[in-house]
Each structure stands twice: as structure tokens, then as C-alpha cells.
């Protein structure tokens, strides 16, 4: 029930709140259950000697992750990050300040791994890993969307995402998992995608969409499934097949492939770009999930792999795939592996293969929400910052009216939608609403000041989150959509076919 | 006494510092995680690290007041340390006579900047909340060192000639003892002991940010995962 939640009032600008200690201490996610933990190789219930095992696991992680080891040590508690987290800005809970969230782990680290913490626990604030601490970990490491905004501003680049991922992995290792994320990872292993869509349902949907596009455009635009020998394997987030407004972008991709005359296929086995292995911090799970794509690229004998509009998926694909399952030397070396759908479309525009009726989007004044994992953990094109310019180029190529939000809330300083990092689950709705407040504030300013009525973005989680948030904050739900939804609206079909 | 103290302090510092660096270097970097936009070449990364260390680039983005206070402290600390070379050098090059005024002004500014940093910890609710006793004590220690230094410069002068002689003797191993003849000498002993404490705790405290920043993967990695395969050392296949 939407009206059961308390929705913050939007002010003219994002204000740093006063501290409200413990205000979000009650909001932990649902714990994972046996049937989701087991397939992931985690203990199905809390192990008996969990304190000892937890500390051992932390010791192991310190050796495996330089980020964790260095970030445990070098924070000087300068406070630069304290007003940067959207969850802190929305809740005022001091444990949602990045330094304080990390402090929950640092206390345990100091207690067991530093001389100062062993000798003077009171002086340096060191704590045992006990029931109370575990409760805090489970609560507050599931109030971090791993958006990395803090790492932009930290003078040492301390990345709380690394710390919350490590905390989640340690908790999984002692049998204290998070239901939503483990359930989804289990589903990918079973059915190939996060939504648990079986092949017949997927092929039915694609067929329906083909008919729909034929009716509305008069062109036979295909959404091929499991087609061996296609040029491109398209890996989209599974939400693109079933959710609004995601599905509009899927049709956008299809029109681009159609108009460029490049054959492509979707895979039912690797029908998911998302990789929740990242959210739970597990290298093994990340690798296992991403392996489906690498295997399908080989099996379907494609030459290129293109990834759809999904933020964390793009991080995993761009930054991690090569490490996880590379090398991809069996693919065409003339194209980057993987390629983002925005890079793909952008490249085609540069080569003159596509043209647009910008007037088709004249009803819209568009702004762009940079999704955190695209903005701060990946790149597009050859130059740093291409992840900002390329999607904006696509918007400008397809729309006449574009305006950016406040510069402190876009590009590398972008604000999380409030639902990333494995938190897009209903029991955390209160957190999601409050965490969306900063973004909603920046959006409201351009809605009021520039009559913005379309929020363009390239992330499946952001789309789903904003769908819920916009009406709560008094803005229309359908103003959120993908960049390829705008492409879909404006692309000229049939006028000119194929790459020259 | 002084000799043993000096060699113990420096010994612990060097061993502790190298041990920490070894720990950082030994730990693995399984994945590429630079905070983007990030440089796409090694040279670009060196430049990024240089900007971080020389100008506190990220901190500048975060908080202008904190940047001013933090930068002023670190920059004046360097200037003050340079001035201290005069106590270890004989005969003194002419440069240090001219430099004296810079060093003294820097000393005043340094204590001012430390005061500002401590005021933040006391007055801003968020910064107050995140500060432990150790954070306050460390600032107090630095203020004590800076304050006692200024005290000797402006009010209670110790026997500089004797001190310099003692410092020069440190390079050899004879037991050197300082005279305690005036209040200034006592201030000097206090100054020296506080510096000893600071150097001893350095490798075991957050002061390791000096070495650690160069190992921060979000800052020291090249953004080239597609162009060059990065291998996870503990899961290579």
C-alpha cells in the first residue's frame, strides 16, 4: 500500500539532514531461506561457530581483496563522504553515512586484525563480531546500493561498495543471506534469467512484440531467439521482455538492428544481462552467471556481443567479463567486447546508417538520469566519460528538447535511484522511498523550471524503481523510459537500409 | 637515552611501514574497479595519483572548507619539515637563513589549520559523530607538537646549539644526553617525545593513508578491461 509509507516532502534543493541515530535500524531485509542458499553453495542456516567463521572469512577476504585491506586501514575520518550518500540524505541515520557504514566492519577489523584494537578496543572503537554487530551488519550493509558515489569524493577513493559486497559475502559464508538476491541468483541458475521466464514464455512474448511492431510500423521487425550464426548476440536485462517501460527499449533495439540490417539473436539460455552475483559480492557467482553468456556466444557462433540497457549488468560486462570468462578472442576483434547498445547505435549513427524524425519526440522535454554503475564503474567508447556523452548524443539525435539536471547530481556525481545494489525489494520500500528523495528533488527542479516530462535512462533497476517512486513524489509514472524508447519513437524505418 | 629513543622510534616506523606496504602489495586485486571516468593509460593513472597527492583533487570536489583546512595543514607541514633540516645540517647553507621566515609563518598556519580541523570534529554534528577518541587525540598530539614548536620559536627558546650538537651526534652511536637547564629545554623534550609518539603510531594508525593511497584500486587502476585482460590471481582460469 503506497499511502502507508511516509514520503519526504521535496524542498527546493537537496539539504543535508540533521542526525537521527538509529532511525533506520529497524529495516533489515528478509533473510534468505534454505532453498535459495543451497544452490549457491552457502550454508543453508547460520553455522554454529559463526563468530569464529565470520572472522576467519574476513581474514581471508583481506588477502583476496586489496580494496578491502587498504580501505579498512586508511580512512582518516575526514567526513568528506558524510553528506554524499542518498540514503543518508534521505534518512538522516548516521549509519548511512559511508564512513559510518564502513565503520561497522572496521570495528571488527580493528578488534581482530590490528594491535591497537587488540590492546585498546575502547580508545579506537573496536568491537567483537557478536549478535548485535551481526544485526547491524545485516541491516546497514543492506542499506547500501553500492553506487560508489562516496568513492568519487573520498580523498583515497575508498569505495563503500567494496566493503558492503565483502560484508555480504562474509554473511553468506556463515549462512546469513539476503532472500531477494539469493533467490534471484538461484533462479538464474535454474532458468537463465532473474525473472524466472521459461523459454516458451519468452518466445511467446517476442512473437507478440513482433506482431505489435508490424501493426504499428508496417515493418517486419524481428526479435529472433536462439538463432545460430547471427552476427550479434543481444543480452538484455530480462525485465526488458516483460516490464513497462523496459519493453519499449527492447523494441528500440530491435528497430536499430532491423534498420541497420545487422542480424542478431537473443538467447533463451543466456536471457539475462543482470548479474546479482555482484550484489552479493561473490566472485564465483559472478563468474558462473556470466559464463552462460560466454558459452552462448560460442554456441550460437556470433561475432559480437551487445548488452542492453542495464546499469550493473554493464559494469559486470564491461569491467569484469574479460576477467571472469575471457579471453573473447573468438569474437570479431574490430568491435569492443562487449559493446553497449548505446555504443552500437551511436556507432551506426556516426556511419550514417540511421536517421531520425526528431519531431516524433516533440511532446517530450527530456532529461537524463545517469545510472550509478554506468557512470562510476564503466565506460563507453574510447574516451573516459563516453558513458555520459554517448547516451546524451543519442537523446540529442532523437529529440529536440533536452536539458540536464543540476551538475552536482549527474555524470560522475549522479545520485542513485534508491533501488540498486540488490535493494529493489518491497520490504525495503521505506528505504527506497527515502533514498530516492535526492534524485526526485533534482528532477522536480527541472520539471518545474524547464517543463521536463521525460526521464531518460539506461538501467532496468532504475526504471523499475522510478516507476514506483514517481507517483509517490507527485510525478507521472510514465515519464520514465529508456534511451532506446526515444530511439524507437524517432527512428526512420525503411528509408535507408544497412550499413554503408 | 636520546640515541636509543631515536633509533627505536625510527626502527619501529620503518619496519612497521614496510610491513604494511608488504601487506597491501601482497593482497590481490581480483577485478578492475577504478572509479570512472578513469584514465585509460598507465601514464594517465600516474597523473591521477599525482593530482590526488599534490592537490587532493577528490577532496576538492567533496568539501571546499575541509579541502582548505586539510590542504593547508599538509602543505604547511611540508614547509615546516623543510625548515627542520637546519637542525641536522652543519654548516648551514645560506638558503635556510632566508627560509626561516617561510618556515615560521608556515608553523603558525599549520597550527591554525589543525585548529580548524579540530573545530570541525567538535562543531559539525556529522563529523563529531564519526570521531573516536583516537581521532581527537591524534589532532591534539599534532597540535601539541606544533604548539610546542611555536612556543620555542617565539617565547621559550631552548639551547639550540646544544640540541644541534646532540642531533649531529645521533648519526654515530655515542650516548647523547640533552641538558635540561631552562624551561625552553623542557618544552623541547616534550616536543621531541610527542614527535616520537607520532612516528611510533604511524604505521599502526590511519596515518598510513600516506602509503595506502598508492594502493587504492579505485585510483591506481587503468580503465582498460576490454582492451587488456585482467587476470584474477586467485581464480586465474
Q: What is the pLDDT of residues B187-227, one digit of tens each?
A: 999 999 999 999 999 999 999 999 999 999 999 999 999 99
Task: Verify whether the Cβ–Cβ distance B130 to A148 is below 8 Å.
Answer: no
Per-residue pLDDT band at B168 (split at 50, 70, 90): confident
Range of weakest confidence among A195-199, A209-213, B25-29: A195-199
Question: Which residue of B lies nearest to A76 if distances are taken between CA atoms?
Answer: B206
- A92 shares contact with chain B (CB less than 8 Å): no
pLDDT band at A1 (very low <50, low <70, confident <90, very high): very low
Q: What is the CATH number of the domain that holds B176?
A: 1.20.950.20
| Element housing A89 (H / E) | helix A86-91
Buried b (16+ CB within 10 A) or exposed e, A3-33: eeeebbebeeebeebebeeebbeebbbebbe
Task: Indicate whether A39 pLDDT > 70.
Answer: yes
Residue B205 contacts residue A116 (beta carbons within 8 Å): yes
Instruction: Please state, in angstroms and rounded to a whole number, the distance separating the CA atoms of residues B159 and B181.
Output: 8
pTM score, whole prediction: 0.95
Report the sign of the C-alpha dihedral through residues B29, B30, B34, B40, in that order.
positive
Q: How far does the CA of residue B174 sit from the closest CA of chain A (Å)?
A: 33
Residue B233 lies in a domain: no
- Work out the end-to-end distance of chain B between its first and last CA atoms, rounded to an integer number of angstroms: 57
Q: What is the pLDDT of residue A148?
A: 98
The pLDDT score that the predictor gives to residue A179 is: 96
Question: B127 CB near a chain A CB, below 8 Å?
Answer: yes
Domain presence at residue B116: yes
- Which backbone phi and psi does A19 adopt, to 5 degrees? -70, 135
Q: What is the pLDDT of residues A449-492, one digit of tens each?
A: 999 999 999 999 999 999 999 999 999 999 999 999 999 999 99
Domain extent for B138: 2-22+45-215
Which one of B35, B52, B135 has the shortest CB-CB distance to A152? B35
Q: Is residue A383 within 8 angstroms of chain B, CB to CB? A: yes
In a domain, B114, yes or no: yes
Examine residue B236 and state whether it is found in any structural domain, yes or no.
no
Contact A19 B217 (CB under 8 A): no
Q: Cβ of A62 under 8 Å from any chain B Cβ? A: yes
* Averaged confidence pLDDT in chain A: 96
Number of domains in chain B: 1
Residues B209, A156: C-beta atoms closer than 8 Å: yes
Instruction: Give the model's confidence band at B113: pLDDT under 50 very low, under 70 low, under 90 confident, else very high.
Output: very high
Question: By CA distance, what is B225's nearest residue in A?
Answer: A319
pLDDT of residue B42: 97
Residue B151 domain-assigned (yes or no): yes
Q: What per-residue confidence (pLDDT) applies to A2?
A: 46
A226 contacts: CB under 8 Å, gap ≥ 6: A265, A266, A267, A268, A269, A300
Helices (H), A120-198: 121-124, 131-140, 149-153, 160-173, 179-191
Q: Mark B127-150 as b/e (b = at least 16 C-beta within 10 Å).
A: bebbbbebbeebbebbbbbbbbbe
How does pLDDT run across A412-455, given as a tens digit for each residue?
999 999 999 999 999 999 999 999 999 999 999 999 999 999 99
The CA-based angle A340-A341-A343, given to 5 degrees, is 65
- Taking the C-alpha atoms of residue B203 and residue B20, their distance in angstroms, rounded to an integer, is 7
Q: Is residue B29 part of a domain?
A: no
CB atoms within 10 A of CB A49: 9
Picking from A321, A384, A413, the nearest residue to B39 by CB comes out as A384
Q: Element (H or E) spanning A250, and its range?
A: helix A246-260
The 3-state DSSP class for residue A234 equals strand
Domain membership of residue B61 (yes or no) is: yes
In this structure, what is the dihedral angle of CA atoms B67, B71, B73, B78, given to the nearest 10 degrees? 170
- Long-range contacts from A118-122, C-beta under 8 angstroms, 24+ separation: A122/B133
Distance from CA of B96 to the nearest CA of A (A): 33
pLDDT exceeding 70 applies to what percent of chain B? 97
- What is the helix (H) or strand (E) element at residue A456, kind and residue range? strand A454-457
**Distance in angstroms (rounded) separating the CA atoms of residues A288 and A275:** 10
Question: For residue A282, what is the nearest residue in chain B, using CA coordinates?
Answer: B30
Instruction: Enumerate the residues of chain A whose CB falls inside 8 A of the CB of residue B218.
Output: 67, 148, 151, 157-159
Provide mean pLDDT across the span A401-408.
98
Q: Is residue B225 part of a domain?
A: no
Alpha-carbon distance of A290 to A467, in angstroms, equals: 28
Amino acid at each position: 500500500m503506497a499511502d502507508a509509507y511516509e514520503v519526504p516532502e521535496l524542498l527546493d534543493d537537496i539539504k543535508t539532514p540533521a542526525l537521527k541515530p538509529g532511525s533506520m535500524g529497524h529495516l533489515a531485509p528478509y533473510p534468505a531461506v534454505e532453498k535459495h542458499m543451497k544452490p549457491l553453495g552457502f550454508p543453508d542456516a547460520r553455522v554454529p561457530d559463526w563468530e569464529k567463521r565470520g572472522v576467519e572469512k574476513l581474514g581471508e577476504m583481506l588477502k583476496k581483496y586489496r580494496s578491502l585491506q587498504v580501505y579498512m586501514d586508511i580512512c582518516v575520518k575526514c567526513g568528506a563522504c558524510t553528506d554524499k550518500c542518498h540514503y543518508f540524505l534521505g534518512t538522516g541515520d548516521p549509519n548511512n553515512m559511508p564512513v559510518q557504514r564502513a565503520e561497522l566492519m572496521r570495528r571488527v577489523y580493528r578488534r581482530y586484525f590490528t594491535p591497537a584494537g587488540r590492546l585498546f578496543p575502547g580508545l579506537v572503537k573496536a568491537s567483537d563480531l557478536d549478535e548485535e554487530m551481526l544485526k547491524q551488519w545485516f541491516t546497514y550493509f543492506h542499506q547500501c546500493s553500492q553506487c560508489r558515489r562516496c568513492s568519487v569524493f573520498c580523498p583515497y577513493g575508498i569505495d563503500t561498495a567494496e566493503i558492503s559486497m565483502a560484508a555480504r559475502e562474509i554473511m553468506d559464508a556463515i549462512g546469513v543471506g539476503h532472500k531477494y538476491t539469493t533467490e534471484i541468483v538461484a533462479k538464474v541458475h535454474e532458468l537463465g534469467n532473474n525473472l524466472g521466464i521459461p523459454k516458451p514464455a519468452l518466445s511467446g512474448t517476442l512473437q507478440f512484440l513482433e506482431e505489435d511492431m508490424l501493426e504499428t510500423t508496417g515493418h517486419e521487425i524481428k526479435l529472433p531467439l536462439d538463432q545460430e550464426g547471427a552476427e550479434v548476440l543481444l543480452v538484455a536485462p530480462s525485465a526488458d521482455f516483460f516490464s513497462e517501460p523496459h519493453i519499449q527499449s527492447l523494441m528500440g533495439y530491435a528497430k536499430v538492428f532491423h534498420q541497420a540490417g545487422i542480424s542478431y539473436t537473443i538467447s533463451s539460455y543466456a536471457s539475462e544481462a543482470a548479474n546479482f552475483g555482484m550484489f552479493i559480492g561473490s566472485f564465483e557467482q559472478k563468474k558462473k552467471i556470466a559464463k552462460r553468456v560466454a558459452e552462448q556466444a560460442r554456441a550460437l557462433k556470433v561475432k559480437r556481443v551487445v548488452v542492453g540497457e542495464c546499469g550493473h549488468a554493464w559494469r559486470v560486462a564491461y569491467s569484469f567479463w574479460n576477467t571472469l570468462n575471457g579471453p573473447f578472442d573468438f569474437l570479431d576483434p574490430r568491435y569492443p567486447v562487449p559493446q553497449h547498445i548505446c555504443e552500437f547505435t551511436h556507432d551506426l549513427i556516426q556511419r550514417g546508417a540511421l536517421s531520425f524524425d526528431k519531431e516524433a519526440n516533440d511532446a517530450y522535454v527530456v532529461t537524463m538520469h545517469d545510472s550509478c554503475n554506468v557512470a562510476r564503474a564503466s565506460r563507453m567508447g574510447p574516451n573516459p566519460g563516453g558513458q555520459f556523452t554517448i547516451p546524451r548524443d543519442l537523446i540529442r539525435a532523437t529529440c529536440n528538447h533536452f536539458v540536464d539536471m543540476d551538475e552536482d547530481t549527474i555524470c560522475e556525481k549522479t545520485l542513485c535511484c534508491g533501488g540498486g545494489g540488490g535493494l529493489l525489494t518491497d520490504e525495503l520500500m521505506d528505504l527506497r522511498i527515502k533514498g530516492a528523495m535526492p534524485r526526485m528533488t533534482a528532477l522536480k527542479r527541472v520539471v518545474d523550471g524547464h517543463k521536463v516530462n521525460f526521464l531518460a535512462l539506461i538501467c532496468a533497476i532504475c526504471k523499475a524503481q522510478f516507476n514506483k517512486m514517481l507517483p509517490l513524489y507527485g510525478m507521472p509514472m510514465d515519464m520514465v523510459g529508456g534511451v532506446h524508447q526515444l530511439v524507437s519513437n524517432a527512428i526512420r524505418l525503411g528509408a535507408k537500409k544497412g550499413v554503408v | 637515552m636520546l640515541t636509543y629513543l631515536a633509533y627505536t622510534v625510527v626502527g619501529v616506523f620503518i619496519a612497521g611501514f614496510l610491513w604494511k606496504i608488504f601487506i597491501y602489495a601482497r593482497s590481490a586485486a581480483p577485478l578492475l574497479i577504478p572509479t570512472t571516468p578513469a584514465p585509460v593509460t598507465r601514464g594517465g593513472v600516474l597523473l591521477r595519483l599525482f593530482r590526488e597527492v599534490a592537490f587532493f583533487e577528490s577532496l576538492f570536489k567533496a568539501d571546499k572548507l575541509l579541502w582548505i583546512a586539510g590542504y593547508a595543514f599538509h602543505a604547511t607541514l611540508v614547509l615546516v619539515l623543510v625548515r627542520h633540516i637546519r637542525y641536522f645540517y652543519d654548516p648551514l647553507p645560506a638558503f635556510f637563513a632566508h627560509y626561516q621566515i617561510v618556515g615560521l609563518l608556515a608553523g603558525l598556519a599549520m597550527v591554525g589549520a589543525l585548529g580548524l580541523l579540530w573545530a570541525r570534529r567538535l562543531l559539525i554534528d556529522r563529523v563529531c559523530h564519526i570521531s573516536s577518541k583516537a581521532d581527537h587525540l591524534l589532532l591534539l598530539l599534532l597540535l601539541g607538537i606544533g604548539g610546542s614548536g611555536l612556543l620555542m620559536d617565539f617565547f621559550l627558546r631552548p639551547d639550540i646549539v646544544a640540541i644541534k650538537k646532540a642531533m649531529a651526534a645521533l648519526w654515530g652511536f655515542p650516548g647523547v644526553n640533552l641538558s635540561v637547564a631552562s624551561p625552553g629545554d623542557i618544552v623541547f623534550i616534550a616536543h621531541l617525545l610527542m614527535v616520537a609518539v607520532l612516528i611510533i603510531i604511524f604505521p599502526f594508525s590511519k596515518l598510513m593513508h600516506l602509503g595506502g593511497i598508492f594502493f587504492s584500486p579505485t585510483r591506481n587502476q587503468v580503465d582498460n578491461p576490454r582492451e587488456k585482460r585482467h587476470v584474477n590471481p586467485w581464480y586465474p582460469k
